[in-house]
Amino acid sequence: MIDIRGRVAFLTGAAEGLGREIARELVAGGMRVALMDVQGDKLAALTDELRSGGADVLPIVVDLADPVATAAAVETALGHYGTPRVLIHNAAVLREVSLLDVTFENWRREVDIILGGAYVLTKSVWAHMVEARDGSIVFLSSGSALFGFVKETAYTPGKHAQEGLMKVLALEGREHNIAVNTMSTGRPIDTPMSDSHYTEEMRIGIVPPARLAPAFAFLAGVDADFATGQRFNAFQVSEAIRVTREAAG
Ligand SMILES: NC(=O)c1ccc[n+]([C@@H]2O[C@H](COP(=O)([O-])OP(=O)(O)OC[C@H]3O[C@@H](n4cnc5c(N)ncnc54)[C@H](O)[C@@H]3O)[C@@H](O)[C@H]2O)c1
């Protein structure tokens, strides 16, 4: 495990939901964080909150469906902070639309944010991590990476493909000491995404997103020798951390 204090994280989807809690957790762990999101106002509010607590964070407003803008956002973060210890691609959108009703443009946008974002973000930091022989990359997984769900015409294939990308990059990253893993939530989480899409049945066992955040600080500190090519469960990892901390007093 690597000490993450003073190290750099690039995080997407930071403005609200799970991403905002991950940002708070990484900052609490002493990391400097490039916060990327398409929602400028909410990103600015989070930046003010974190900076008022003394954190070193850089907000970057970017639409991750746009590969050119995404690569430029990473360049901005690299120029400001240098090579990140961890890249966490957390942003996603979920639209439930049948094949009859979806347009190619809307289908493509969802896949571009989930899978295209994972590719462009990783491609943009990869050579830097290779040179550093150090890095951890985490993509947000989901039950939709393993199973099909009604009307998830783009989200489910996007999450499945992201899992495949992780497996391939983990093989390539091993010789460069770059860990590449995915993190499922393990539980439904109470966020804007679940508010707008989940049925009562899907909300069974729902937890606040802050409950999962420790798992991301944990993965920020792993290298390929410890774990790569794995699909972690954020709820289980975070619970294990919580119990260990409680036992330690
Ligand atoms: N909510 C759940 O129960 C649940 C379950 C399984 C997996 N997940 C995954 O966890 C992650 C976080 O989910 P959440 O519930 O916090 O989602 P959310 O919708 O609450 O938040 C997503 C964040 O991503 C940002 N984002 C969306 N499109 C963007 C774009 N084009 N460019 C830049 N940023 C963009 C949003 O502005 C927002 O800040 C996602 O990858 C999601 O698929 C969530």
Helix axes 104-111 and 155-174, enclosed angle (nearest 10)? 30
Q: Tokens standing for 16?
A: 């609200």
User: Which residues are registered as beta bridge partners of 8?
Assistant: 32
Q: Of the residues 11, 12, 18, which should be mutated to test ligand 1's pocket, given the most ligand atoms within 8 Å of the CB?
A: 18
Q: Is the minimum distance from the CB of 34 to ligand 1 under 6 angstroms? A: no
C-beta 129 within 6 A of ligand 1: no
> In the Cβ-directed half-sphere of 164, how many Cα atoms lie within 13 Å?
8
Ligand 1 pocket check: which of 189, 195, 206 to mutate, most ligand atoms within 8 Å of Cβ? 189
Q: What is the pLDDT of residues 75-99, one digit of tens each?
A: 999 999 999 999 999 999 999 999 9
Please state the rounded mean pLDDT for residues 3-10. Answer: 98
Q: For residue 61, what pLDDT is reported? A: 99
Beta carbon of 183 within 6 Å of any ligand 1 atom: no
Any residues with CB less than 8 A from the CB of 228 and at least 6 apart, and which? 170, 173, 174, 178, 179, 180, 181
Is the CB of residue 60 below 6 angstroms from any atom belonging to ligand 1?
A: no
Give yes or no for residue 213 CB within 6 A of ligand 1. Answer: no
Mean pLDDT, rounded, for 210-233: 98
DSSP string, 175-221: TTTEEEEEEE-SS-B-SHHHHHH--TGGGTT-B-GGGGHHHHHHHHT
Classify 57 in phi/psi space as left (phi over 0), alpha (psi -120 to 50) or beta.
Answer: beta
Question: Quick check: 184 and 231 in contact, CB under 8 A?
Answer: yes
Q: Which helix (H) or strand (E) holds 45?
A: helix 40-52
pLDDT at 177 over 90: yes
Give the distance (Å) from ligand 1 centre to CA of residue 93. 6
State the pLDDT confidence band at 249, using cuts at 50, 70 and 90: confident
- Tokens read off for 117: 């974002």
Q: How confident is the model at residue 236 (pLDDT cuts 50, 70, 90)?
A: very high
Residue 14, helix vs strand vs coil = coil
> What is the predicted pLDDT for the residue at 197?
86
pLDDT reading at 134 higher than 90: yes
| Beta strand extents in 44-155 (DSSP E only) | 57-61, 86-89, 135-140
Residue 18 CB–ligand 1 contact under 6 Å: yes
Q: How far apart are CA 190 and CA 167, in angstroms?
A: 29
For residues 210-222, average pLDDT: 98
Work out the average pLDDT over 210-232.
98
Question: Is there a contact between 61 and 91 (Cβ–Cβ < 8 Å)?
Answer: no
The Cα 188–Cα 158 span in angstroms is 19
Q: What's the confidence (pLDDT) of residue 162?
A: 98
pLDDT at 196: 87
Residues 191 and 149: their CA atoms lie apart, in Å, by 19
Exposed e or buried b per residue across 85-102, where buried means at least 16 C-beta atoms within 10 angstroms of its C-beta: bbbbbbbbbbbebeeeeb
The secondary element (H helix, E strand) that includes residue 32 is strand 32-37
Alpha-carbon gap, residue 174 to 35, rounded angstroms: 27
Check if the beta carbon of residue 194 is closer than 8 Å to that of residue 131: no
Ligand 1 centroid – CA 175 distance (Å): 31
Instruction: Tell the residue nearest (CA) to atom 34 of ligand 1.
Output: 37
In ligand 1, the atom with minimum distance to the C-alpha of 113 is 31
Across all residues in the chain, what is the average pLDDT?
97
Per cent of the chain over pLDDT 70 is: 100
Q: Which domains does the chain have, with CATH numbers?
A: 8-248 (3.40.50.720)
pTM for this model (two decimals): 0.98
Tell me if 46 CB under 6 Å of ligand 1: no
